[in-house]
Structure 1
Amino acid sequence: MSESSAAEKGYIHGYATTEQQRLIRQAELWKDRLILDGTVLAGGTRLLEVGCGAGAVLRILGESFPDVHLGGVDISPAQIEFARDHLAAHGVRADLDVADARSLPYETASFDHVWMMWVLEHMSEDDAKAALREARRVLAPGGRITVIETDYATIKVGPSSPAVTSVLSAVVGAMRAFGQSDAGTQLWGWLDEVGFSDIDPGERLLTFRGAEMTAMAHYFADAVEATIDNPALSSAEEAILRQGVRELREPGPGSWLRGVVHKAQASAGSRD
């Protein structure tokens, strides 16, 4: 998903139609394990997704909680245009705007819930905290935030190989260059610093095997492949990364993938 620093430095996955389709597949993979698990939204809740991308998460939330009033912002006009079409095709109503997460175009206390998923990882630390500060501003007193991020260094694949290990290391390096590879680990501190309370860091160690492993490996390979065409890579480095991607796409019997994901939730507290 895409926001502020992502636009300034270049959203690492790009904005092509293939990326929008990847975001839809990504949301489906995380639907039951992460998006809906532990999510409770009362009827009438005014929810804003910051960094809504292709609208895939909003569709899932809208279909699962039809009485919630949905809104979404993304810094990319192309993403918002795609999201409008995607949501309309599935009969989900949402008010979408092109906006920067650091400066939301809404009055103070306009929403009851703010949702961010794979957004802060694309920002500098200062921008991530600015986005969370803005999220708290637009939340009503006592409103809630859900922020989902990971720590890429925790992602492991087994059985492993030098090529797959190179892919995992390259992902950590790329996320560090473009944002925060350990955004999930930092969530508690960021939320506390900008004034949120009742913070649950929501740390989860997720392991995938069998059909789930195959689906997650393909999803991960898709994300990695979109970043390989980098002129800074030597031909040897590119070759081993492409080999690692091929191996990820063909997991053998007994293969597994695991990593730590944080689904942090917190209260905006009272208005200062």
Structure 2
Amino acid sequence: MSTASVLFDAPGPRARVRNRIVTAVTIAIAALAVWAVIARLGSKGQLTAAKWQPFLTSNLWKTYVLPGIEGTLKAAVLSIAFALVLGLLLGMGRLSRVGWIRWPAAVIVEFFRAVPVLIMMIFAYFLFALYDVFPATYLALAGVVTGLTLYNGAVIAEIVRAGVNSLPSGQGEAAAALGLRWGQTMRSILLPQAITSMLPVLVSQLVVVLKDTAIGYQITFVEMVRQGTVVGSSYGNYVPALMVIAALMISANFALSVVATRLERRLRRSKRGGVPAQTQAALEPGD
């Protein structure tokens, strides 16, 4: 019996053979491409030991890389937290049976999904600067977080709506027959079950949040990619600098995926271990 993954269902025997063949061909093509790129860069002198030497000094990391890492992680953590809250609220608003809640939530979601993230960052940055909402040192961070929160909150709202709608309709009907209100049904029955099915898409969206912090360089936000280009400009080693930054970004995204995988496994184990507390609460009459 195969185990489900957080990103995809486990393939069958034929699919595994096909995946191995495709993987082998892809690796061979990628290896040839990497070899060609390395040979080209080597001829340009970008991969010599002297170009990597600055990364062995603490001054470069303290001055450039570490502030970029701090800015990226700070913006990503704040944006993810706010976007999850906003997305949950808007998603439940779109699922509401009350028209004056459902329609405004739908308009907000569709509007912020349609506006480019960079436009929202720039607009928020100049709006906050015009009305002195934040100190000057936090203006760029506030603009980045606002843009990422609004856009990704709208996307997460659609993920929440799709996850809840994918559940069998009989569960909501059974909850209504037990006398549960809509809020109790959503909180105790539908959302807990939808969380596991939403995790793969949510993880993908959270990775997008982390990568989109790089757009903030347009409003002078100090983040990893911007600092990588500054290092390349200062030391004349653009390729090594961007390779180091790419490795750091990949590590951060991989860590986020690992956390989500462990969370999903824990949720699956808790479901196999017995009746969840949410289901028990749902079976009790509402007050």
Query: What TM bracket, shorter-length normalisation?
Result: under 0.3
Q: Which has the larger radius of gyration?
A: 2
Q: Scaled by the length of structure 1, what TM-score is found?
A: 0.25
More helix by share: 2
More strand by share: 1
Q: Scaled by the length of structure 2, what TM-score is found?
A: 0.24
The structure with higher relative contact order (CA 8 Å, sep 6+) is 2
